[in-house]
Structure 1
Amino acid sequence: MYRRSRDHEAHSRSQHRHLLVPVRDSKVPDGEVLVFGAASWAAFVTHTGRG
């Protein structure tokens, strides 16, 4: 039997946290955060690094 619990949900989120990249405007530290998938962020960084 499978029971969903708060502990399980928190553990599941923490296991997948490395798959997400939160990005915030450094000039607005209390502002909203955009969250990108790690693969999408890596592609963006690779592309923008080419100039």
Structure 2
Amino acid sequence: MKVLIAGGAGYIGSTVASACLDEGIAPVLLDSLVRGRREYTEGRIELR
């Protein structure tokens, strides 16, 4: 299963993405990277 996480490069979004990965769910991140950090997206599917 995949789940879309808006703001996935931010603190809360990246924490939710990590929790999804722990449960076997593939997070798809949507973030403009204006405030988010690219390091938080490593190992995840990323959309901009």
**TM-score (normalised: structure 1):** 0.30
Structure number with the higher strand fraction is 2
Give the structure, 1 or 2, with the largest relative contact order (CA under 8 Å, sep 6 or more).
Answer: 2
Higher CA-based Rg = 1
**TM-score (normalised: structure 2):** 0.31
Structure number with the higher helix fraction is 1
